[in-house]
Amino acid sequence: MFKYIKVVILVLALSGCASTEMKKYTGHHIDQVITRWGAPNAAIKLSNGGASYTWTGGYDLFSQPCRKTFTTNSRGIIIQYNVSSDSC
pLDDT, residue 17, reads: 64
Selection from 82, 88, 57, 86 nearest residue 70 by Cα: 82
pLDDT, residue 15, reads: 45
Between residues 75 and 3, the one the model is more confident about: 75
Handedness of CA 66, 68, 40, 44 (dihedral sign): positive
What's at 45, amino acid-wise?
K
Domain ranges of the chain: 2-83
Question: Is residue 41 a contact partner of residue 54, using CB atoms and an 8 Å limit?
Answer: yes
Selection from 84, 88, 87, 76 nearest residue 11 by Cα: 87
Query: What are the pLDDT digits (tens) for 5-64?
Result: 444 444 444 444 678 889 999 999 999 999 999 999 999 999 999 999 999 988 877 788
pLDDT, residue 10, reads: 41
> Is this prediction's pTM over 0.85?
no
Class of the domain covering 2-83:
alpha beta
Judged by phi (left if over 0) then psi (alpha if -120 to 50, else beta), residue 49 lies in: left
